[in-house]
Amino acid sequence: MKIRTGFGYDVHQLREGLPFWLGGIQIPHTHGALGHSDADVLIHVICDALLGAANLRDIGFHFPDTDPQYKGIDSKRLLSEVVRLLRERGYTIGNIDSTVCLEQPKVNPHIPAMQATLAEVMGIPADDISIKATTTEKLGFVGRQEGVAAYATVLIVKP
């Protein structure tokens, strides 16, 4: 059995008037993340961690922001494609551990819905997806509410 780990990190600016997508769901807020796709920072770090674990480069390699077909795309579609790439290579997802860094809005009330959505997209149990949230105690770009950051580690397995 081959066991591999991967790590992902991403940030997005927050801008007034944009929809805020996180973990595959839209969260009501005055500001949303700016990006070429729907800017779902949580899905992006999970994609990067999974791709890295399988040594398949990164999200920008597979879905470049210079390609108009990805403009405004639902990041769940990107995640689905990443999972397909892993399965083609014989990997299954063991677990995902992630952290979202954000001052506002509060993320904790939305975690169960995000877990359910991500589990459905990836075809894994929601219990295998850990999502945690923290602030930066008003320090840095996250603390000033200028952006959102996220981290993820994953475990993938090939029998």
In percent, the amount of the chain with pLDDT more than 90 equals: 97
Strand order in the sheet with 147-158: 31-33, 2-16, 147-158, 92-101, 129-134
Question: Model confidence over 53-78: pLDDT tens digits?
Answer: 999 999 999 999 899 999 999 999 99
CATH number for the domain spanning 75: value is 3.30.1330.50
Q: Is 92 helix (H, G, I), strand (E, B) or coil?
A: strand
Q: Is 58 helix (H, G, I), strand (E, B) or coil?
A: coil
Q: How close are the terminal C-alpha atoms of the chain, in Å?
A: 4
Give the total number of structural domains in the chain.
Answer: 1
| pLDDT band at residue 134 under the 50/70/90 scheme | very high
Q: In which domain, by residue range, is 145 found?
A: 2-158
CB of 7 within 8 A of CB of 47?
Answer: no
Question: Model confidence over 3-22: pLDDT tens digits?
Answer: 999 999 999 999 999 999 99
159 against 40, higher pLDDT:
40
**Which residues sit in the known binding site for a divalent metal cation?**
10, 12, 44
Question: Model confidence over 139-155: pLDDT tens digits?
Answer: 999 999 999 999 999 99
Residue 51: name the closest of 1, 101, 93, 100 by CA.
93
Residue 137 Rama label (left phi>0; alpha psi -120 to 50; beta): left
Question: Model confidence over 32-44: pLDDT tens digits?
Answer: 999 999 999 999 9
**Which residues sit in the known binding site?**
10-12, 36-37, 44, 58-60, 63-67, 134-137, 141, 144
CA 1 to chain centre: 27
CB of 12 within 8 A of CB of 145?
Answer: no
| pLDDT band at residue 82 under the 50/70/90 scheme | very high
Q: Is 65 helix (H, G, I), strand (E, B) or coil?
A: coil
Q: Does an H or E element contain 47, and which?
A: helix 41-53
Neighbour count for residue 156 (Cβ, 10 Å): 23
The pLDDT, as a whole number, for residue 151 is 98
